[in-house]
């Protein structure tokens, strides 16, 4: 499954000390439909490396690889997944670093970042003082983060899918 994360610049943001970053979860992929565990090679915003669980179906994990499954569902965020998989902390550090780099580079602008669900989950935990997870991250959902200073963040919007229910607008030519 070759899908990479990307960024797109939008019109300027009203304050040159801030960067507004729209983080969008990619659309539904063939592997999403099949319930398979993914990772894609992209330096910073790729999906979590799942080690021995890579490519397996979620519904089969507890039976096919119970040790790796136990690590996956563990509440220990520092626990790495067997077979070279990332811990949640490792994923968090990678994704946080990427968003900081993008935000610093695009101060005074709005930027769109398209990435994966696990990456978005870590960013949510990072921006939320309680560190609790807000639930399922739908495909094409939008979160908006605002960066100010070197590493201060505000979560402005989370999990918005209102664009999925809006009627398409057409323009006559």
Answering whether pTM is above 0.75, one says no
| CATH number where 57 lies | 3.40.50.1240
**Within-domain flag for 171:** no
Sequential pLDDT tens for the chain (173 residues): 334 454 555 556 667 888 888 888 776 666 667 776 657 444 777 788 889 999 899 898 999 999 999 999 999 989 999 999 999 899 989 988 888 888 888 899 888 888 888 888 888 877 775 555 556 777 778 888 888 887 888 888 877 778 878 765 555 44
Give domain status of residue 99, yes or no: yes
What's the structural domain count of the chain? 1
Q: Is residue 40 one of the residues assigned to a domain?
A: yes
Whether residue 173 lies inside any domain: the answer is no
Q: What are phi and psi of 8, to 5 degrees?
A: -135, 135
Report if residue 1 sits inside a domain: no
The active-site residue, picked from 26, 49, 106, 116, is 26
| 47 in catalytic set | yes
DSSP result, 16-40 = TTEEEEEEEE----HHHHHTB----
The catalytically annotated residue of 20, 47, 86, 121 is 47
- Say if 103 falls within a structural domain: yes
pLDDT at 17: 83
Is residue 116 part of the annotated active site? The answer reads: no
The answer as to whether 170 is a domain residue is no
**What does the pLDDT read at residue 11?**
56
Residue 22: inside a domain, yes or no? yes
What is the residue range of 103's domain? 6-164
């Amino acid at each position: 499954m070759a899908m990479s994360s990307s960024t797109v610049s939008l019109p300027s943001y009203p304050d040159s000390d801030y960067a507004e970053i729209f983080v969008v979860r990619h659309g539904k992929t063939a592997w999403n439909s099949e319930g398979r565990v993914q990772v894609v090679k992209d330096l910073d915003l790729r999906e979590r490396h799942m080690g021995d669980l890579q490519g397996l179906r979620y519904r089969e994990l507890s039976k096919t690889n119970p040790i790796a499954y136990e690590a996956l569902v563990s509440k220990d965020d520092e626990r790495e997944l067997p077979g070279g998989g990332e811990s949640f902390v490792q994923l968090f550090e990678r994704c946080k670093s990427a968003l900081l780099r993008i935000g610093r580079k695009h101060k005074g602008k709005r930027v769109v970042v398209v990435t994966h669900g696990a990456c978005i989950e870590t960013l949510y935990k990072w921006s939320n003082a309680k560190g609790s997870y807000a639930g399922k991250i739908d495909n094409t959902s939008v979160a908006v983060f605002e960066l100010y200073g070197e590493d201060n963040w505000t979560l402005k919007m989370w999990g918005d899918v209102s664009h999925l229910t809006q009627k398409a607008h057409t323009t006559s030519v």
